[in-house]
Structure 1
Amino acid sequence: MNKKILIVAAHPDDEVLGCFGTVARLIKEGYEAYTLILGEGKTSRDEKRVVENKKDEINILNNEIRKANDIIGIKKVFLEIFPDNRFDSVDLLDIIKAISKVKDEIKPDIIFTHYEKDLNIDHQITYKAVITATRPVEKESVKEIYSFEILSSTEWNYPLSFSPDIFFDISNTIDLKISAMKEYNSELCQYPHPRSLEGIELNAKYWGMRVGKKVVEAFKCVRAIK
């Protein structure tokens, strides 16, 4: 039976920025992959959260999500609508239950999710909810958890603490990652902003240079039961 992967991301495009090169590679190697995006991704710039005022933008973003995930062969995307950059206004238990529901449905072997000390509060809470939803009890399906960095969040927190110990060579899938990010036209920024196509490629080269490869994605291993 093929191993299953679940990406748990706080916002649309986090899944691409965090691990799409690696997951695209693993899909090519026979893994089955799913994405869960917890936040609606559009209301944080408003004084008050009024989802109805953002319906058109959210619909555009949801279309971008599906196109981006289709590019690398994600089998299914699960969408929640927790308030953008306001996860701390929601009971943690509600977020844990949303993750548990998807986890129980697909029974993943591996989870990729956020780094615990990102600047973004939603990323921090997502990490905590994932760890809670995957307590290592006897019948827990998840045996490996890896946390990823998000450009313009992980490196913007101080003091810097992201110290990866797992590196995936994405030489054959960096193009798929870039193509997926291009689908997020409403989220892309212009270089020198880190969340740009150039920023993504430079970051992959930066980590690659550190481990003797051309381009890699870097992760912190949270738990691996072998």
Structure 2
Amino acid sequence: MSKKILIVAAHPDDEVLGCFATVARLIKEGYEAYTLILGEGKTSRDDNRVVENKKDEIELLNIEIQKANAIIGIKKVFVEAFPDNRFDSVDLLDIVKVILKVKDEVSPDIIFTHYENDLNIDHQITYRAVITATRPMEDECVREIYSFEILSSTEWNYPLSFSPDTFWDVSDTLQLKLDAMKEYKSELCDYPHPRSLEGIKLNANYQSMRVGKRYVEAFKSVRVLK
């Protein structure tokens, strides 16, 4: 039976930015992968926007989510609608219950999720919810948890504390990550913004120098049971 991966991301495109080149590689190696996106995305940020326009934008974003995830072969995408940049207005237990429900359906061996000290509050709370939903009980299915970095959040916090200890060589799958990011037309920015195609590639190049490869995705291991 193939091992299963669950990506738990706060917002649409976080899954791509955080770990898509690595997950694409693992899918090629025979893993099954699933994505859980907890929040609405940036379409919910403007409270004054006309309701119909917001609905249209959310529908467009949902199409982008499906197209982006299909590019690397994600088996299923679960999408929730917690308020963007306001996860702290929601009871943590409500977020934990959503993760538990998906975890029970997927039974993942590996979870990729956010770094605990990102600038974005939703990322911080997502991390806490994942840790709460995967308490290391005897029958816990999740054996490995890794935190990823999100450009324009992880490196924008101060003081910087993301210190990766796990590196995946993604020289053969970085292009799939870039292709997936291209589908997020409503989220993609122009260089020199970090959340740009050039920024993604430069970061993979920068992290690769730590381990002597061409392109790398870097992670902080949270719990690894072998």
Q: Same fold (TM over 0.5)?
A: yes
Instruction: Count the aligned residue pairs.
Output: 226
- Report the CA distance between 1:67 and its aligned residue: 0.3
> CA–CA distance in 2 between the matches of 1:217 and 1:49?
37
Structure 1 pair 35/49, CA: closer, same or farther in 2 (3 Å)?
Answer: farther
Partner of 1:45: 45
Matched, 1:223 2:207: no
Partner of 2:73: 73
1:68–1:3 distance in 2 versus 1, CA, 3 Å: same
In 2, Cα distance between equivalents of 1:43 and 1:71: 23
Instruction: Report the alpha carbon displacement of residue 43 of structure 1 after superposing the two structures with TM.
Output: 4.2
What residue identity is the alignment partner of 2:153? S
The 8 Å contact of residues 85 and 121 in structure 1, kept in 2 or not, is answered as yes
Residue 194 in structure 1 maps to residue 221 in structure 2: no
* 3-state SS of paired residue (1:223): strand
1:140-155 aligned within 5 A: 140-155=140-155
Give, as a single letter, the amino acid of the residue that structure 1 aligns with 2:71.
I
Partner of 2:17: 17
Cα gap change, 1:66 to 1:112, in 2 (>3 Å):
same
CA distance 1:73–1:51, shift in 2 (3 Å): farther
Normalised TM-score (structure 1): 0.97
Q: Percent identity?
A: 82
In the alignment, the residues of structure 1 paired with residue 224 and residue 9 of structure 2 have an alpha-carbon distance, to the nearest angstrom, of 20
Structure 1 Cα separation of the partners of residues 192 and 222 of structure 2: 31
Q: Structure 2 vs 1, CA of residues 109 and 131 (structure 1 numbering), >3 Å: closer, same or farther?
A: same
* 1:156 to 2:156 alignment: yes
> Structure 1 stretches of 5 or more lacking a match?
none
TM-score (norm 2): 0.97
For residues 3-43 of structure 1, give each alpha carbon's deviation from its aligned partner in whole angstroms, at most 9, with x where no partner exists.
Answer: 00000000000000000000000000000000000001134
Shift of 1:49: 9.0
User: How many Å separate the matches in 1 of 2:90 and 2:41?
Assistant: 15
Q: AA paired with 1:139?
A: D
SS at match of 2:207: helix
Once the two structures are superposed, residues 153-173 of structure 1 have per-residue CA deviations (whole angstroms, 9 ceiling, x without a partner) of: 000000000000000000000
Letter in 2 for 1:199: G
Aligned to 1:185: 185
Unpaired segments of 5 or more residues in structure 2?
Answer: none
* CA distance in 1 between partners of 2:99 and 2:225 (Å): 20
Equivalent residue, structure 2, for 1:34: 34
Distance 1:67 1:130, change over 3 A: same
Could you tell me how far apart the structure 2 residues matched to 1:40 and 1:86 are?
Answer: 10
Q: Distance in 2 between matches of 1:15 and 1:79?
A: 12
